[in-house]
Structure 1
């Protein structure tokens, strides 16, 4: 495989999910490895948060996050796997303790909860199950 363009944009999980769904639904049936890769990747992405996302929420979320001076890869991680705790933000954002105050971290969490509310419901259910054990 040859790299054609090093500056190609990174895709979010949602964009990959939509693209693979189009490939799967196309009248042209894929054969061999492409069909397997498409099937397996779609199966994985259906279990992630991207299946409940939409372009409008992602766009608005990115606009709301502009004030925090996050780089592209950090924004991509926040959209692909929206954190629910300050610890998760600390793991995703480089030098977050120096770059962000506790108030800013809480603001980021509330922005993500506003645009991706289904994530926090799922996490809460998982936490409830853990508490029962």
Structure 2
């Protein structure tokens, strides 16, 4: 297989999950490897933050992130793995220490939490499980 244009399109986990759900729900049943890949990928994605996202929440989050001059890949990472700490933002945004102030990092965390409130709940559940 040859990759013709590696940057022609980048999909979020949410978009991949919805597309695979449409494939799974289509009348034409796929057999073999495609069915297995679809099933395994859906099973994985349904346990990630994208399962709780909506097209509206993603669109609104991206609009609110516009003032920070993030590139497409950085925005994609923020959507696919919504950060809950400043450290996670440093790992996702290239040269974040030079590009963003501490206040801007806090603003990004608040924007992400505002549009994806489920991430705080899942983080609290993980913390509770670790303490037990």
Please give the TM-score of this superposition, normalised by the length of structure 2: 0.96
For residues 19 and 63 of structure 1, what CA distance do their matches in structure 2 show?
23
1:124 aligns with 2:111: no
Taking a change above 3 Å as real, the CA distance of residues 88 and 7 of structure 1, as seen in their structure-2 partners, is closer
Q: Quote the residue 2:71 is aligned against.
A: 71
RMSD: 1.0
CA deviation profile, 1:41-96 (whole Å, cap 9, x unmatched): 00100110101100000001000000001000000000000000000001111111
Matches within 5 A, 1:32-111: 32-111=32-111
Runs of 4+ aligned structure 1 residues displaced above 3 Å come to: 4-7
For residues 103 and 92 of structure 2, what CA distance do their matches in structure 1 show?
17
Structure 1, unaligned runs of 5 or more: none
Per the alignment, in what secondary structure is the counterpart of residue 82 of structure 1? coil
For residues 50 and 87 of structure 2, what CA distance do their matches in structure 1 show?
21
Aligned residues: 132
